[in-house]
Amino acid sequence: MSNLVIVGTQWGDEGKGKIVDLLAEYSDLVVRFQGGNNAGHTMVVDGEQFISHLIPSGILQKKQCIIGNGMVVDPGVLIEEIDYLIGKGIQIDPDMLLISQKAHVIMPYHKAIDAAREGCGKSRKIGTTGRGIGPCYEDKAARRGIRFIDLLDEDFEKNVRGVAEEKNFYLTSFHGLDPIDVDQLLRDYEGYRKRLAPYVSDISVLIDKAVRKGNRILFEGAQGTHLDIDHGTYPYVTSSSTISGNACCGSGIGPKRMDSIIGIVKAYTTRVGEGPFPTELFDATGDFLQQKGAEFGATTGRKRRCGWIDMVMIRNAVMLNSLTGLALTKLDVLGGVEEINICTSYMYRNQRIDHFPVSLKVLGECEPVFETVPGWKEDISSVRSADDLPENTRNYLQRIQELSETPIDLISVGPGRNETIILNHPFK
Ligand code: IMP
């Protein structure tokens, strides 16, 4: 197997960063294909914690990393991240990190509009990360976005002044806010341009060459399937396509090139921001998972809402992504929970439903149907073979495989690279 896509199956924060970091060791190239610094990957290597928002997690394995055309990038944040990683002794030369010429640039007016909409009470509050992600993707679709190729172009100032005029009208007239200082913006972005220019290139050509050479490529998704702009819990979603199909569009490669697709499943469910969540827990078990799992957003620090695993969602993710395998993360966090609930279907007005509903009104009224299985007390974080897991843990894994009709390839029992049980190596 040479080309592998990794996506989240729930509402993000499934622990993709750790799995990408782990599998990057066996790949030649890591490509991130969507999202921006709304994502936050936490990785622990030799006891040291690293957080990245934009740079693919593969950088810690010293692999060539690509910021794909499907991403939206805040250049100031990217430079901070480069400096942060360099400060930690990680080499980030322009041949290690490449930015697609077609990736879109987040501008100050995107962030101002994101914050204004979330705070004004006039629009529906989505609970965004406030990083300007949605407004930047809006401009991309409206064909007035600024791409990295445009940031480097001599017409940059003219283009920005044209767009900024309209944005400032909206910010001042509709929201009653101060306008963006365009001269300051241009000075800041001139600095970003100089610093980032060496990293910008036509990545589709590079990826194509790598494919032809038979290199192994890992395509890294951000957020999760149910935050997908088309297939997620719209409108409480992010503004990009988070599913495996977008690994192609967001990097410039055709679907025939993909070999396997792994969906990351947290052993329970979490969500940040607004929107329905059928298996959400409002009791001591929810607090236990939140605290033991350190369920705080890596980007905004917000407390994550916690609940039981929802196999209706996971089956939906298997379908939407054509998952060939699952990676189950944070299994150790469930240790100490006496009885574990697995949501197998929903009840909606006395009717059982097995599929994930499109209507949020329906989803909001769905009651989870649970199958209760016994938990385990043991600390499993030092277990390295599935056979050494407690019987109840193995039974839990078995039910997840049966209900999803998908094999579990990897199990994560702690944040460290080595705290992993590999059942079926996707690159071997
Ligand atoms: P945005 O992506 O900042 O526009 O936020 C839209 C929704 O997606 C909000 O509910 C966010 O909390 C959620 N979201 C965005 N990125 C992530 C992520 O990386 N993990 C979990 N939730 C996210």
What is the 3-state secondary structure of 166-189? HHHHHHHHHCCCCCCCHHHHHHHH
Residue to substitute in 272, 296, 329 for testing ligand 1 pocket (most ligand atoms within 8 angstroms of CB): 272
**Percent of the chain at pLDDT exceeding 70:** 100
CATH number of the 104-196 domain: 1.10.300.10
Cα(153) to centroid(ligand 1), Å: 31
Residue whose Cα lies nearest atom 21 of ligand 1: it is: 12
39 and 222 Cβ atoms separated by less than 8 Å: yes
Cα torsion 158, 94, 239, 291 to 10°: value is -140
Cα(373) to centroid(ligand 1), Å: 31
- Could you tell me which of 37, 192, 177, 40 has the C-alpha nearest to residue 109? 177
Known catalytic residues are 13, 41
Q: Which two tokens stand for residue 299?
A: 């980007």
pLDDT reported for residue 40: 86
Q: Which CATH number fits domain 265-422: 3.40.1190.20, 3.40.640.10, 3.90.170.10, 3.10.20.90?
A: 3.90.170.10
Q: Is the CB of 416 under 6 A from ligand 1?
A: no
- Alpha carbon distance 283, 334 (integer Å): 15
Mean pLDDT, rounded, for 403-417: 96
Q: 255: Cβ–Cβ under 8 A, 6 or more apart, which residues?
A: 245, 248
- Could you tell me which of 274, 281, 273, 269 has the C-alpha nearest to residue 310? 269
Cα(295) to centroid(ligand 1), Å: 14
Cα(394) to centroid(ligand 1), Å: 32
pLDDT, one tens digit per residue, over 187-232 is 999 999 999 999 999 999 999 999 999 999 999 999 999 999 999 9
CATH 1.10.300.10 domain locations along the chain: 104-196
Beta strands in 27-133 (DSSP E): 29-32, 41-45, 48-52, 64-67, 72-73, 97-100, 104-105
pLDDT reported for residue 1: 61
pLDDT, one tens digit per residue, over 119-178 is 877 778 888 999 999 999 999 999 999 999 999 999 999 999 999 999 999 999 999 999
What is the DSSP track for 283-330? SHHHHHHHHHTT-B-TTT-PBPEEE-EEHHHHHHHHHHHT-SEEEEE-
pLDDT for 379 beyond 70: yes
**Percent of the chain at pLDDT exceeding 90:** 89
CATH 3.40.440.10 domain locations along the chain: 3-99+202-261
63 and 24 Cβ atoms separated by less than 8 Å: yes
Mean pLDDT of the chain: 95
- Alpha carbon distance 313, 158 (integer Å): 46
pLDDT reported for residue 120: 78
Q: Is the CB of 126 under 6 A from ligand 1?
A: yes
Mean pLDDT, rounded, for 257-286: 96
Preceding omega of 235 cis (within 30 degrees of 0): yes
pLDDT reported for residue 301: 84
CATH 3.40.50.300 is held by the domain 3-99+202-261: no
Distance of CA 301 to the CA centre of its chain: 16
pLDDT for 335 beyond 80: yes
Which amino acid is residue 256, in one-letter code?
K
Q: Which two tokens stand for residue 401?
A: 């495989």
- Alpha carbon distance 229, 217 (integer Å): 25
Q: Is the CB of 239 under 6 A from ligand 1?
A: yes
Q: Is the CB of 272 under 6 A from ligand 1?
A: yes
Residue whose Cα lies nearest atom 9 of ligand 1: it is: 128
pLDDT for 318 beyond 90: yes
Q: Is the CB of 34 under 6 A from ligand 1?
A: no
Highest mean pLDDT among 39-43, 118-122, 405-409: 405-409
Q: Is the CB of 229 under 6 A from ligand 1?
A: no
